[in-house]
Homo-oligomer: A and B are copies of this chain.
């Protein structure tokens, strides 16, 4: 549980930056070289590599070097973990609204029966 929590810490932290989200958006469309990921960003290559390191540590991206080119790819499973956590909250929240709706319907029915 603690490890899982630490995973979610790293995941959400990694997604909390526009440059890193931009990289994930690009990589959702398919693998890309580091130079391609860096192209739209106005930052130094070391800064780009640091952001990539955060994404790799969070398990969101994996990279592989072939010759002089490092190619990055998305790890969809990690995004799935973040999605699952949010989904679980929505299910709880909607369940609560459903129960509230049932309760209000019961009150309404009791009111109708009294008429």
Contact = CB atoms under 8 A, between A and B. Distances in A.
A86 B96 contact: no
6 contacts: A9-B18, A12-B12, A12-B15, A13-B13, A83-B86, A83-B87
Given A9-B17, A9-B18, A30 B83 contact: no
Interface of A: 5-6, 8-13, 15-18, 21, 24-25, 28-30, 74, 76, 79-80, 82-83, 85-87, 89-90, 92-93, 96
B86 A90 contact: no
Contacts of A13: 12-13, 16
Given A9-B16, A13-B12, A74 B93 contact: yes
B76 A30 contact: no
A22 to B, nearest CB: 9
